Structure 1
Amino acid sequence: MIQSMSLPLYSDTLREYQDWADLQQEVHTLGCDGIEAIWGGEPIPEDLPAGLVQGYHLIFFHDWVDLWNGNWTALKEKYGSLEQAASVYGGLGRETLLRQYREDLERAKRLGAGYVVFHVSDVSMEECFAYRFSHSNDQVITAALELINELLQGKAWPFAFLVENQWWPGFTFTDPRQTERLLDGIRYDNKGILLDTGHLMNCCTGLRNQAEGAAYIGAMLDRHGSLSAMIRGIHFHQSLSGPYVQSHTGRLPEEWPEEFGQRFSVNYAHVLQIDQHRPWTDSAILPILARIEPAWLTHELTSRTRAERTRAIASQQALLRKRENAP
């Protein structure tokens, strides 16, 4: 199993390390083989060491299906004008999304990633609070398949293409019919699932501890039967945000800003409360890992500094060592 730590290729984050040797030493000290990178919107350093990037998280837009489908009325309602929408997406129309994803796939190729991760979900800022959604899981999967196949068909990319589950409309890993439809619809042989354990826990607001979370993940594996064999990687973290969701959703905040940037800031803070990305500390998850046997495991944990990142990963590694030392 190849282990990575999630790390954005962003100058402020990279400056936390003295140089590439310092970063590589930190990676190895933490028991990892490399990083799962995500583009930070800046030129990627030319001297980034070969082999550091094991996986690559593709860019993502939380709310993109209306743009893909050309629903200009919906975009005007969300952003106030098509001009504002274009400033958010970098343009209008399907080619806007295709261009940006093609450029990101090329980055993953240049970096030598063994896999890329693609979110199959769609949610507006208002829907993050209201929890009343304009698109169904099947509608989001339909749009995602159109986009994915346009990007991949006829291409010989040198990496696995993995779809990641969310708790928003799209691919949730709770409905085997939808999971099968998504996987069967991707016209690319080297494909699979990147199971995000915390995102799956976010689907069940009744969970109150890690043991219940592990049992819920196990139940979803049972529900999927042989489809679970398509899980090739894991984003390893836990999230127990049910009480927060139950008390902070179903309506917009009383003071909902009109300006887009302010709304984004309020929404971002809200989503961080839902999607907690905390370390696993309960050994109840270990049989689940043994059952899945992922090829790749990424420690995707909330951290604002290098020190927090180090502590969080070390905590999970202490748990994983229990698995290795088990009789």
Structure 2
Amino acid sequence: MSKRINAARGATINGLSTRFNDPAREADGDWLDSAEEDDLPSSRTEISYETPRTAITRNTSPDLSFDRSINAYRGCEHGCVYCFARPTHAYLGLSPGLDFERKLTVKRNIPALLRKELENPRYACRPIALGTNTDPYQPVEGTYATTRKILEILSETNHPVMITTKSARVVRDIDILASMAERGLVAVMVSVTTLDPETARTLEPRATAPHRRIAAVKALAEARVPVSVSLAPLIPAINDHEIEALLEAAAKAGATMASMIMVRLPHEVAPIFRAWLDATMPDRAARVMTHIRAMRGGKDNDGDFHTRFKPQGAYAAMIRTRFQAGCRRYGLVRRDIPLRTDLFSPRGKQFSLF
């Protein structure tokens, strides 16, 4: 049985000891967090603002299918305890623990920067990914609508976009998404990790409830927006038993493809996850970590290019076999959704006739 330690948040610790201010670290590259559980901060969300110099972030990772992304927010109020993006808060001198969930940063000038970058004569159009670091539709989006402003610009310029989210708030923008879908400019991936409300509340305390995410998949599919479902992450002895049920629900809702990622615990995520396990699921904590370490060469995490998304061992092989069989059974066999780049008009529709 699991128990709720902090009903409002995911992480159970909030120390400021990170790889940027603490030389101590484990041999496998996952950094220690010396936090104590005493004096945990308030669960109230705090918002600050920043003015970045660029909107589009570039990457050259051989493991990713995109080379550019936009993240309108730092931190994520969803509070997913396993979130691989938590370590990015350490760059701000904040904790990847509770600070990541409650001290958010809004990049209010992102839309203006994006328009300027798209108008650069040297800009070459390729799909932009939203939701690669923190969720573009987390609760703060309801106030600032930064993601919607980004989509308005991308739609106006006929620029392709890929969206990943755990939020049903994506259906708010279905007017823009449906229009972009007609032009072959958008694909949406909804992450669904469990169908069990209690598991979801423990793993992802402020993310949209599972049944609402499935409903969002259905709404997108009915609007003819290409939509897939991501089983990410699958965690041994916590949600991996739901693989087939998740795939069946996705297919019934209208998804055309599915993907999966086994849980990853980079840097500060590992001690945060272990502390959460000990606090909420002490009966299975050892079993969960035993499976994870078996898939990662005896370590909490494998951060190497080419292998970090490819867990090894018998348990990982069994999970892949079940996932692939489930995809075939429920018709989730499409492997890609090609997006058009030939329609791109950097200065928008109003200039398309000149």
| TM value normalised by structure 2 | 0.38
TM-score by length of 1: 0.40
Higher relative contact order (CA 8 A, sep 6+): 2
> Counting helix residues as a fraction of each chain, which structure ranks higher?
1
